[in-house]
Each structure stands twice: as C-alpha cells, then as structure tokens.
Chains A and B, each alone.
Chain A
Amino acid sequence: MQKIEIFKITSLNREPLIVEGYFFEGSDPKAPSVAIVGAMEGKTILPLYTASKLVDFLKNSINDSKKILGNILIIPSINHYALNIHERFWPLDKTNLNMMFPGYDKGETTQRIAKKVFDTVRGYTHGIILETRDDLSTCMPYVKEFKSGFEDLEDAKKFGLKIVHYKDLKPTDTVSLQYNWQLWETKAHSIICPSTMQLQPDSDEIFEAIVNFLNKNNILQHKFLGGYESTIVANEAMQIIKTPKSGIFVPTKKIGTQVIEDEVIGKIIHALEGKVIHKILAPCNGVIACSYKNALIFENAVAFRIARNT
C-alpha cells in the first residue's frame, strides 16, 4: 500500500488540508482497476467510515497481496475541513464539491480541488462515489445511477444492493463527479448511504457490497456472503408520500420494511398540543426506501419514498 498526496491547500488560520489516497497495486496488470471516493461533504459519516474500513481491510485483512488483482485507489475524505467542524460544504464559501466537476485549475478553491481529485481518479475502469442524500431524508443503501447515456446498469447491479435508482438527469447533475467520470469513460456509480451521524450494527453493509463488487469485477479475490439481485427502480416506480400537516413526525415503519397499501407508516403530532393530527398511510405495496430524517417536519414535505413492488 502506498499513500499518495492528491492535494495540499494552506489556510490562514488552520493547519494545511492534506488529502491523501491509499493506493493498492494489483498483481495482474491486465485486471480492471477501481477508484473509490469517500466523504466529499462534512456531514457524511458512513462514506468516511466505509472508505476507511476498506483501507484497513485491504491493508490488514488480505494476507496474500496477490489477491488484489487490479489497482485500487481509495480516497476516504476530500473535505477534512468540513468534517472536523460538522459543516456540510466547503467551510468558507459553502460550495458543494460535488458540484464542481470536472474542476478547473485556474478557478475558485473548490474548482481547483475538484480538478486535482478528478485528474487523480480519471482513467480507472470503475469508479465508486460514496454519498448521502442531498435532501432531509435518510434511506436504505442504494446505487444512484443517472440516465446520462453513459451509465452501465449491469455493473451497478454487482454491488448486490436491493435498489439501483435509475434517475433522470437534472442540470445540476452535469457538474457531479459521477456524470463527469462516466463522460471520461469510467464505469462510475454512486452509493447513497444512510444519513446517520452514528454508526449502527449494520453499518458494514455498504463495505461488504463494495468488496463483493470488486470480486465480481475481478479486482479482488475475496467475497462476503449475501447480496441481493438488484432491482432497477426508475423515478416512475418511486412513490412519493408527502405530509399534508406539519408538526412532530413519528415514523412507525422502519426504512427497508415491506408495507402494504393503506397500512399506517407514520403519524404527525401537533407540536404544541400533542395530539395526533395526521396518520400517514402507505398508498401502495412496496418497500420504504427513504424517510424524512428529522423529528420536526414541514407541511407538504416528503415524508416517505416507497419503491413499489413490481
């Protein structure tokens, strides 16, 4: 394993930000390669944890280095400055690094960072980006794949996560790492991690999914048990459930639960008087893919997303 410096940026008052990648050289020059990008935002614990666990696993648990067939680069974090103070975006100007790709070496700070990261990860066969949702919800782990014209859904299924969300491309997605990485011919996928600030007993699910992905792509000779036959879910198959009332949100069904039509999946409590003012019913059969993550919810906010059973 070799540590490589991807970029270093100084600060007026903080210690320099030094971002490093962990490079594992494969034993087979003909094997495909992969680059994995962890936390780009500061409130993304699972991306950071998963990437760092991969570093430890490859470094300390793979006892025969020949089992690493293809080159593997892992960048656990590119935004330590935000992580260390619980900011979501770049702390000074609040710009989102994942809206700066492919980057620009003469541009603003985050454009320059994006450029250095992109130059480093370009050319890998596969790319994995660990993200969390950009709204106020949390979710079961799933693969996000843009309808960009460059996507590879069969490759996305190799993670063995239940859902591959096949999303329409928005204008702002054209400056994301996934889109640009695909444009430069890497099979890039985003894994959307639950937006938790604390690790749970099942927090290794994504780590195991990535290892199995590397195994199926002949990059690593190791695999874990399990994995699902992924279902491709397009926007039309994702049912949005909004709450007509604001107040205290109490989900009564967990994320990942199968629910049936008309089943109560949550309730809204009047924030000052305590009574239940609305019961949220499942409008269809399916699995709860996402749920609003805060206890206080706005009127007409999206409370749940259900992936309909086919």
Chain B
Amino acid sequence: MQILEIFSSKLPVGENLVIKKSRFEPNSKLQTPKRISIVSGIHGDELEGQYVTYLLAAWLKKNPQAIRGTIDIYPGINTLGIDSITRGFPLYEVDLNRVFPGGEDDFLPGQLVHALALDVQGSDIAIDIHSSNIFLREIPQIRINKEFSNATLPLAKELNCDFIWIHDAVTVLEATFSHTLNTMGTKTLVVEMGVGMRLTQEYGLQLLKGILNLMQKEGIIQTDEVFEVREPFSSEVGDVFYLNSPCSGLFVPALSHCDVIKKDDKIGDIVNPLDGDIFETLYAPHDGILFTLREYPVVYEGSLIARIFGGNDAKN
C-alpha cells in the first residue's frame, strides 16, 4: 500500500493543507488493469464514509493476496471541514460538491476539486460516499442520475444497499463530483447513508460487503469469501413521497427510521416547548418504507421531515 498526496497547499501559518489517498495494488504484476476509487468526506460534516474506507483499507491489508486491480481510497476531501465540523470549505463557505470540475485558475476550493477529479479520472468505477447531513437520517441508498443509469445501475445493484433512487438530470447537479466523473468516463455512484457527524456501524459494515462484492464481480479482488448482498428496491418501480413540515417547531418522531408504514400512520408531532401545545401531528401520505427521517429536531415551515418510498402498486 502506498500513501500518496493528490493535492497540497501551504496554509498561511505553519501548516499544509494536504489531501491524501491510499493505493492498494497486487504484490505481483497487475492482474487486471481495472481501477476503483472510493471517495468520502467531500462534505466536512459527513463521517460515515470515513468508517467505510477504514473498514475497506483494513480488509485489504488483511487480504493482500486477494487484490487483482488498483484500489484508490480517498477518505477525506474536505479535510479542514472535517476537523472543524464544517460542511463546506471553511472560510470560503462553499459546498465542494457544487464547484466541480473546478480548474487550476479557480479559487482554492475549485483547485482542490479539480485535483481530485484529475486524480480519479481514469478509474473504471468511483463510489462517492455521503451521509446525508446533520438534519436527516438515510437508509443505505444509491443515487443515480438518469442520464448515466444504463452504465451505473447494474453496478449499484451489487453494492448491498437498500434502495436505488434514479433521479432526473438537473442542471445544478452538473457541478457535482459524480456528474463530472461520469462525464469523464468513470462510472460513478453516489451512496447516501446514515446521518451527519455520526457513525452508523451497521451501515458501514453493510456497504463494505457491497463494495467487496462489486470488486469481486469486477475482478478487482479475488477471494473465496462469498459476499451475499441484498436486493435493493428501486425508484423504477415506485414513487418517492415527501413530507415537509407545515409549521415551525420541535419535531418529535413517533416511528423508527426504516419502518414499513401505512398511509395515515403517525410520523410525529411538531410541538411547542414553551407552552406544551402540539402545533401539528404528521401522518404518512402513503404506504411504503420510511427511508428518510428527520434527525435534527428544530424545524421551520418547509423543513424536510420524511421521505417514503412506495406506491405504484401494480409494479410493487
């Protein structure tokens, strides 16, 4: 294994900003030219991906004889943000996943993402792991842009996630890592799971199994271990229903995340801590699986409370 720097910049006072990756290759001559890149920490408040990259690196170190291709691991892209609990690039206050592809003459966050894109370019597959944010908890899911779904959907099914969400092309998302890399010819998948600022160990282990399974299928690793993966449900066979808060207040959930729910099941209350009143009680708009649930209790009118996948009954 090698530790390599993909970007370095001297900070003003006695410190360097360094973005690193670890590269795992077979001990002998490469047996497949295939390369996979695992990226996490583009948002500084998302740590679930760092746990997955830890698990993956530990597995590869323990099983070096299994490695047949090149595996690049980028655990933390927004290093300054991760260490300061800041989602965007500190000081600049920009979301790094909205400034791709960046450029050498761009501002510093643009230079950083440009270096990342160039370094990952040439990989056959890239996986960008996100943890939602501090507001929402998500079950392990893959987000796929319809524009690239022919190439990426078969890969997504190998990743041991619960849900595959294929969404329409949106112009603003062209500034993301995944769109940039897909455009450059690397099949890139976005994983969303867990919640910001925390680790969900069971999800980390679930995704690890999926990544190992995908690498086995692609010939990047070869091992006798069998990775049994779950079959995800897909937005191709149903609809996503949104529940936004009708008012401001404190959200108190009534259900566990990932529950199977029925229409009109109680999702929670929006309450007033000052006088003990309940402003609103929220009910499920449809049968389905509660795959997104509000984690941060303070809400304004419009704050996302839950997303439910369901419906489209004949197909489901």
Which stretch from A31-39, A191-199, A244-252 is at the chain B interface?
Answer: A244-252
Rounded to whole angstroms, the CA-CA distance of A136 and B110 in the bound complex is: 13
Residue of A nearest to B13 (CB): A271
Contact B10 A246 (CB under 8 A): yes
For the complex formed, measure the closest distance between the CB of A86 and the CB atoms of chain B, giving whole angstroms. 12
A300 sits at the interface (CB 8 A): yes
Contact A9 B248 (CB under 8 A): yes
The answer to whether A10 touches B247 (Cβ under 8 A) is yes
Option from B10, B93, B247, B301 in Cβ contact (under 8 Å) with A88: B93
In the bound complex, what is the Cα–Cα distance between A110 and B300 (angstroms)?
10
A242 & B105 in contact (Cβ 8 Å cutoff): yes
Tell whether A109 is near chain B: CB-to-CB under 8 Å.
yes
Question: Are B92 and A136 within 8 A (Cβ)?
Answer: yes
Contacts of A247 in B (CB 8 A): 12
Q: Which of B10, B17, B242 contacts A245 (CB 8 A)?
A: B10
Q: Are A109 and B301 CB-contacts (below 8 A) given A88-B93, A135-B92, A246-B10?
A: yes
- Report yes or no: B300 in contact with A271, Cβ–Cβ below 8 A: no
When distances are taken between beta carbons in the complex, the residues of chain B under 8 Å from A296 are 12-13
**B33 CB–A CB distance under 8 Å:** no
A125 within 8 A of B: no
Select one of B92, B111, B272, B303 contacting A109, CB under 8 A.
B303
Which residue of the partner chain A has the closest CB to B135?
Answer: A93
Task: Answer yes or no: B88 CB below 8 A from chain A CBs.
Answer: yes
Q: Chain A contacts of B14 at CB under 8 A?
A: 271-272
Per-residue 0/1 for A82-121: is the Cβ within 8 Å of any B Cβ (1 yes, 0 no)?
A: 0000001100111000010000001111111000000000
Complex-state Cα separation, A89 to B108, whole angstroms: 20
Binds B, one of A62-70, A158-166, A169-177: A169-177
**B residues near A272, Cβ cutoff 8 Å:** 13-14
Q: Is B244's CB within 8 Å of the partner chain A? A: yes
Q: State whether the Cβ of B91 lies closer than 8 Å to any Cβ in chain A.
A: yes
Task: State whether the Cβ of B254 lies closer than 8 Å to any Cβ in chain A.
Answer: no
| Contact code string A197-228 (vs B, CB < 8 Å = 1, else 0) | 00000000000000000000000000000000
In the complex, whether B298 has a CB less than 8 A from a CB of chain A is yes
Report if B94 contacts A (CB, 8 A): yes
The complex places the Cα of A271 from the Cα of B13 at a distance, in Å, of 6
B92 surroundings in chain A (CB, below 8 A): 135-136
Known: A94-B88, A109-B301. Is A298-B248 also a contact (CB below 8 A)? Answer: no
Contact between chains at B11 and A298 (CB < 8 Å): yes
Q: A234 contacts the other chain (Cβ, under 8 Å)?
A: no
Known: A93-B135, A106-B244, A109-B303. A246 touches B9 (CB 8 A): yes
The residue on A at minimum CB distance from B175 is A171
B-side contacts of A11, CB under 8 Å: 248, 300
Which of A89, A112, A248, A302 meets B93, CB within 8 Å?
A89
Check B171 against A174 for contact (C-beta < 8 Å).
Answer: yes
Is residue B140 contacting chain A, with contact meaning CB distance below 8 A? no
Contact with A along B39-59 (1 / 0, CB 8 A): 000000000000000000000
Query: Which of B172, B272, B303, B304 meets A172, CB within 8 Å?
Result: B172
Chain A CB within 8 A of B143 CB: no
**Interface check B302, CB cutoff 8 A:** yes
Q: Is the CB of B105 within 8 A of A174?
A: no
Q: Mark B7-42, 1 if CB is under 8 A from A, else 0.
A: 001111110010000000000000000000000000
* Interchain CA distance A298-B244 in the complex, whole Å: 41
What is the total number of residues of chain B having a CB less than 8 Å from a CB of chain A? 41
> At the interface, yes or no: A154 with Cβ under 8 Å from chain B?
no
- Interface: B98 (CB within 8 A): yes
- Interface status of A299 (Cβ within 8 A of chain B): yes
Question: Are A171 and B174 closer than 8 Å at their CB atoms?
Answer: yes
Q: How far apart are the CA atoms of A94 and B10 in the complex, in Å?
A: 28
Q: Which of B9, B87, B249, B250 interacts with A94 by CB under 8 Å?
A: B87
Give the distance to chain B from A274, nearest Cβ to Cβ, in Å. Answer: 12
In this complex, the member of A94, A171, A242, A301 whose beta carbon has the largest number of chain B beta carbons within 10 angstroms is A171
Q: In the complex, what residues of B have CB within 8 A of residue A112's CB? A: 301-302
Least CB distance from B76 to A in Å reads 18
A242 to B94, CA, bound (A): 19
Q: How far is the CA of A135 from the CA of B175 in the complex (A)?
A: 16
Instruction: Report yes or no: A175 in contact with B172, Cβ–Cβ below 8 A.
Output: yes
Residues of A within 8 A of B242 (CB): 106
Q: Which residues of A contact B240 (CB under 8 A)?
A: none
Q: CB of B173 within 8 A of chain A?
A: yes
B107 touches A136 (CB 8 A): yes
Closest A residue to B242 by beta carbon equals: A106
Q: Is there an interface contact between A300 and B172, defined as CB atoms closer than 8 Å?
A: no
Contact with B along A270-293 (1 / 0, CB 8 A): 011000000000000000000000
| Neighbouring B residues of A107 by C-beta, 8 Å | 244, 302
Cβ-defined partner of A111 (8 Å) among B87, B94, B99, B302: B302
Q: What CA separation (Å) do A99 and B107 show in the bound complex?
A: 19
Q: Nearest residue in B to A249 (C-beta to C-beta)? A: B12
* A297-B12 in contact (CB<8A): yes
Shortest Cβ distance from residue B14 to the other chain A in the assembled complex, whole angstroms = 6
A134 to chain B: which residues have CB within 8 Å?
94
- For A92, give its contact among B88, B99, B298 (CB under 8 Å): B298
Known: A93-B303, A171-B172, A298-B10. 17 other contacts (CB 8 A): A9-B301, A10-B248, A10-B301, A11-B248, A12-B249, A12-B250, A111-B302, A135-B94, A135-B107, A136-B91, A242-B105, A245-B10, A246-B10, A248-B12, A296-B12, A296-B13, A302-B107
Return 10 A-B CB contacts under 8 Å, by A number.
A12-B273, A92-B300, A93-B303, A107-B302, A108-B302, A109-B302, A296-B13, A298-B9, A298-B11, A299-B11
Ranked 10 nearest A-B pairs via Cβ: A109-B302, A296-B12, A171-B174, A299-B10, A246-B10, A109-B300, A271-B13, A299-B9, A174-B171, A112-B302
